[in-house]
A and B are shown apart, each in its own frame.
Chain A
Amino acid sequence: MILFDAVTKTYPKATRPALSEVSLEVERGEFVFIVGSSGSGKSTLLRLAIREERATSGAVLVAGRELRTLPDRRVPMLRREIGTVFQDFRLLPNKSVFQNVAFALQVIGKSRALIRQTVPETLRVVGLEGKEKRLPHQLSGGEQQRVAIARAIVNKPTILLADEPTGNLDPATSRAIVELLDRINRSGTTVVVATHDHEMVNEFAAGSSSSTPGSWCATRPTATTARRPRQSPSFESMRATRTPRMGPPMPGRPEGSADAGRIRPR
């Protein structure tokens, strides 16, 4: 679903690369945490996946498209297959909950009938029924993030990317948000969450390992070009590999195997 092969990203005028020779593979239906401290390149990784930025070198494949060569006019179609959630929610303050979610469908030309049907459904999924008419400032942080998640999934994307989705939330609310993301993942959406919060990931991994058909495994930390650690971003990924809803488990990748090294240093 997402494949990074030896991807390097150097921002203009930057002295060191934000990502250096990073490789990563996310299968369809997986739930992957990308864990790393601030500045380790997590956000850059996600920005590359939605073609907000172009990689300096290496190949980025998302939903069957090579993003480095994808022409600009095809980018909107790519982004319709990817939902995106951020730490700061990015809701429109003058629109209600319903309008914020509907906006995502309106701007891609969906019919009013479809919007009237899909938006309440999606708000139910994220647990916001009855709050359709509220404005963002009348909601708690957790509720605002649920609106943002609803907006990200309302067009039924195959991939959901979340960049520090719990960064502004307290631990209990964070847990609830991660559980919501887990629920979305169970319905077949590939979910990638970037976070610096080790504890939350461990707790979630421990809590869900017994209840999910997949398994959790922490990949080893990946200090890429480890000679000067401060200058080389590093992060690790933690994943729950679920059996895809369609088709048998991937051959050669038995469930529960320590599938380390998905993010491979080079």
Chain B
Amino acid sequence: MRAGFVLGELGTGLRRNLSMAVSVILVTMISMYLLGLGLLAQRQVDTMKDYWYDRVQVSIFLCVEGSQYAACSGKATTPTQREQIKAQLEQMKPPVKEIFYESQADAFKRFKEQFKNSPLAEQATERAFADSFRVSLTDAGKYDVIVSSFSGAPGVGRVQDQKQLLDRFFAFMNAVSWGAIALSALMVLCAVLLMATTIRQTAFSRRRETGIMRLVGASNATIQLPFVLETLVSALVGASLAMGLLWATVSYGIGGYLSKALMDTAFIGMTDVFAVAPWVVGGVAIVAVLTSWFTLRRYLRV
């Protein structure tokens, strides 16, 4: 089998079957784009976890006059109690890394700053905030040591771990990414069925050609190769377009917009796209070859 002849036949086949090829390309593109998004979302979660787990703090809220925390019984923390808590924290290095003190007024100011675009900022009053110690840890997993030492201690209103808040957020992100992957699995099924249908159609419309090939003694591989190659080329074009879309999404959507709008977090970048792409494209190639092979076994007599 001559390469030139094979390529010529491949070109003719794709041209004659253009609408079929385009449909395979588009369906593959959409399914692989969704799959890529799902995979990238998971990498985003991992990236953010790495970023945030280094920065999570445990907050030890103190009592203020008329505090809503039950442990305070409505009484403010005395300066002695506060000093005691501070001393105890100092003794716990490590895992305690750094200790900041944030007064009620500071907390209110920070809140106003963070939510300046939100109606919440108008409604909030300083009384809703409390003094707190913010404790950063050398190891984000050790937060329970702080929780167990300080919850219920005199003058402590509540111990709150930011990691729990983050985990809820990450669980949400994970669910979204799994949703995208599940959707893409459905789309891959569509793509497989479409490839199979395309091959059946093509095998039927070329039965004259394949009949002659069989009569003059062409090998099974020679007869089947054009079908496999056409499917493979369409699928690979679709997958490449999907990777291009993914690249554009990350480059313009995240690099160009999100990372500027939200300076305060880490985002995935091009390296993540390049890490995902070979797996997606390789997977598409395997799916295309297997699908055409199975379909040809059923629908092309050799």
Is B2 engaged at the interface, CB distance under 8 Å to the other chain? yes
Contact indicator A107/B218 (Cβ below 8 Å): yes
A4 to B2, CA, bound (A): 37
A92 to B1, CA, bound (A): 20
What residues of A have a CB within 8 angstroms of the CB of B209 in the complex? 92
Is B219 engaged at the interface, CB distance under 8 Å to the other chain? yes
Contact indicator B212/A79 (Cβ below 8 Å): no
Contact check: which of B213, B215, B219 meets A84 at CB < 8 Å? B215
What residues of A have a CB within 8 angstroms of the CB of B218 in the complex? 76, 107-108
Among residues of B, the one whose C-beta sits closest to the C-beta of A151 is B216
Is A34 engaged at the interface, CB distance under 8 Å to the other chain? no
A104 to B222, CA, bound (A): 12
Contact indicator B216/A104 (Cβ below 8 Å): yes
Contacting residues of chain A (60-114) with chain B, CB-CB under 8 angstroms? 72-73, 75-82, 84, 90, 92, 103-104, 106-109, 111-112
Contact check: which of B1, B208, B214 meets A79 at CB < 8 Å? B214
Contact check: which of A78, A80, A104 meets B212 at CB < 8 Å? A104
Contact indicator A80/B208 (Cβ below 8 Å): no
Q: How large is the interface on B (under 10, 10 to 19, 20 to 34, 35 or more residues)?
A: 10 to 19
Tell me, rounded to whole Å, the shortest Cβ–Cβ distance linking B7 to chain A: 12
Tell me, rounded to whole Å, the shortest Cβ–Cβ distance linking A61 to chain B: 18
Is B79 engaged at the interface, CB distance under 8 Å to the other chain? no
Is A50 engaged at the interface, CB distance under 8 Å to the other chain? yes
A150 to B119, CA, bound (A): 87
Most chain A C-beta atoms within 10 Å of own C-beta, residue among B4, B5, B212, B217: B217
Known contacts A76-B219, A76-B220, A77-B217; A111/B2 CB under 8 A: yes
Contact indicator B217/A76 (Cβ below 8 Å): yes
Most chain A C-beta atoms within 10 Å of own C-beta, residue among B4, B216, B222: B216
Contact check: which of B5, B208, B214, B219 meets A106 at CB < 8 Å? B5
Tell me, rounded to whole Å, the shortest Cβ–Cβ distance linking B215 to chain A: 5
Contacting residues of chain B (176-235) with chain A, CB-CB under 8 angstroms? 208-209, 211-220, 222-223
- Residue ranges of B at the interface with A (Cβ–Cβ < 8 Å): 1-2, 4-5, 208-209, 211-220, 222-223, 302
Can you spell out 16 A-B residue pairs with CB atoms less than 8 angstroms apart?
Answer: A73-B220, A76-B218, A77-B217, A79-B215, A79-B217, A82-B217, A90-B208, A90-B211, A92-B209, A107-B213, A107-B223, A108-B216, A108-B218, A108-B219, A111-B2, A151-B212
Question: In the complex, given contacts A73-B220, A76-B219, A107-B1, what are 19 additional A-B residue pairs having Cβ atoms less than 8 angstroms apart?
Answer: A50-B215, A72-B220, A75-B217, A76-B218, A77-B217, A80-B216, A81-B217, A82-B217, A90-B208, A92-B208, A92-B209, A103-B216, A107-B213, A107-B222, A108-B216, A108-B219, A109-B1, A109-B2, A112-B4
